[in-house]
Copies of this chain bind each other. A is one copy, B any other.
Amino acid sequence: MLNLLELEQLIAFADFGTLSKAAEELHISQPTITRTMKHLETEFGVPLFVRGKNKIELNETGLKAVECARSLLTAAQNTVQQIQTYHAKLHTLTVEACAPAPLWSLLPLLSSRFPEQTISSKLSELSAIINNVASGICEIGIIPYPIAIDELVCIPIIQENLSVCIPLNHELASRKNLTFEDLNGFNCLLASQIGFWTELCRQKMPASKFLVQTDDFAMKELIQKSTLPCFTTNLATDSSSILSGRSIVPITNPEANVTYYFICKKSDAKYIVIAKQLKTLFIQ
């Protein structure tokens, strides 16, 4: 039976030209590699080298053997990786969502229901979410509208209502309701990592500039020390003290009041249970 370590030595010899160099590179002694080359010849049953008194080189068969050895070795390495990724995929439950808020309720539920699974979540584009769930790249998706696809279930789970937080002395602060159209033109603070909301704001308020803050501390500072409008929702977990100096005004556009839908493959019954659980908690 072939020994991959021996093939590795053969390849090293082919790469470095002499047994000495190869031995040095592999941190083994010359006699060892000499022995290995002889052993390889007996394993293959054919001569692989032309030997001079103090030189040795590959013959034509040897060159072919090196070529075969390379592909066999990479095949072996691929095998290991294949097994490892297979194992990882088997123990990873991947969630892709269009916004972070529904994950706050979903992820803890998944963790407790599937404690042996690694729960992996990320924000993605809407089309990517649907494609990846459909193709099995991820198991669960969260999208802000219902879809009807044969192999997928689509269950409403949570509603999120967007409001704008306006400093009390701002001209819009006294309004009971606002629309994107009212806000269009006012520059706003915006947190990063809010999924599809970012794009929605940009579309609905094309005349506004958005000051996107990646740092949470900076965001809070700016909310308190600036007069720029910012946003919150019914699901936001910010302590209310941060918004104490501001008026919270609901945005009435239908796009600002979304119902999140849980999607997964119909065959994944174990996940559907979770969705129904969320639905009973949050819808009605």
State the A residues within 8 Å of B (CB).
Answer: 1-5, 8, 43-47, 60-61, 64-65, 68-69, 72, 75-76, 79-80, 82-84, 86-87, 90
Contacts and interface: CB of A to CB of B under 8 A. Distances in A.
A269 B188 CA distance: 83
A84 B3 contact: no
Contacts of A2: 4, 76, 79-80
Contact of A90 (B5, B8, B60, B82): B60
24 contacts: A1-B8, A1-B76, A2-B4, A2-B76, A2-B79, A2-B80, A3-B4, A4-B4, A43-B80, A44-B80, A44-B83, A44-B84, A44-B87, A45-B80, A45-B84, A46-B83, A46-B84, A61-B90, A64-B83, A64-B86, A65-B83, A68-B83, A72-B75, A72-B76
Contacts of A8: 1
A71 B45 CA distance: 23
Nearest to A60: B90
A72 B82 CA distance: 12
| Chain copies in the assembled complex | 2
A160 B64 CA distance: 43
Contacts of A4: 1-4
Given A1-B8, A5-B1, A68 B79 contact: yes
Contacts of A1: 4-5, 8, 76
Nearest to A79: B68
Contact of A83 (B61, B76, B84, B86): B61
Nearest to A4: B1
Contacts of A47: 87
A60 B83 CA distance: 10
B60 A82 contact: no
Given A1-B4, A2-B4, A8-B1, A79 B72 contact: yes
Contact of A79 (B69, B82, B83, B86): B69
Contacts of A65: 83
A3 B79 CA distance: 12
A161 B61 CA distance: 44
A83 B68 CA distance: 8
A86 B68 CA distance: 11
Interface centre among A8, A79, A82 (most CB of B within 10 A): A79
A46 B118 CA distance: 14
Nearest to A76: B2
A46 B8 CA distance: 24
A123 B234 CA distance: 90
Given A45-B80, A69-B79, 11 more contacts: A1-B8, A2-B4, A2-B76, A2-B79, A3-B4, A43-B80, A44-B87, A45-B84, A46-B83, A68-B79, A68-B82
